[in-house]
Amino acid sequence: MYIRVEVMIIKLSSYLANSYKFTSPLVLCDLTLEGYHNSLVVVASRKAFKDLKFGNIDVPKGLSIWVMVVTLHTNLDIEGDDAYKFNPERFSNGTIGACKLPHMYMPFGVGPRVCLGQNLAMVELKMLIALILSKFIFSLSMRYVQSPTLRLLMEPEHGVHLLVKKL
């Protein structure tokens, strides 16, 4: 509902002419997208260029390390009891403010290997959401059961049952 209000205000303000202006006022849309794309990068891999110690683990030079990113974003020991809860407000102070440990949230990767297309992807998602919300109303069906499940990606175990109504 609130995202639709943002979209309609922007649409009425003729921000659509400039894509930068169009995307920047969508604060709630930004927070929602941050909360939803916790597993765009499935695996992050790095190779040790020198011997190092990672906590109590010795990592020899040349060892390849692979991390399933979604397991970082849903780790109960790090994120607490609401790790599986959709909570866009946790990103209200940015992604760094949402994370208990630096670089734990990396939906597009992190560092020099960060996805080059992340800004384009975010603009495209915002445009798509804005266009859809300006034409349709969505509500959850009574059959919907919130059941986030960790598979290769985070997904609803029983699907998402939506009711769609044209505006």
Dihedral angle sign, alpha carbons of residues 126, 127, 133, 134: positive
The domain ranges of the chain are: 2-166
- Asked whether residue 137 carries a pLDDT value surpassing 60, the answer given is yes
Q: pLDDT tens digits, residue range 90-100?
A: 777 777 777 77
Q: Give the pLDDT confidence of 66-103 residue by residue, as tens digits.
A: 888 777 777 888 777 877 777 777 777 777 777 777 67
**Residue 99 is labelled as binding a ligand:** no
Closest CA to 150 of 66, 72, 35, 33: 72
**pLDDT confidence of 21, banded at 50, 70, 90?**
very low
19/38 Cα distance (integer angstroms): 24
Cα–Cα distance measured from residue 98 to residue 105, given in angstroms and rounded to the nearest whole number: 8
What percent of the chain has a predicted confidence (pLDDT) above 70? 75
Options 3.40.50.1980, 1.10.3720.10, 1.10.630.10, 3.40.950.10; which CATH number does 2-166 get? Answer: 1.10.630.10
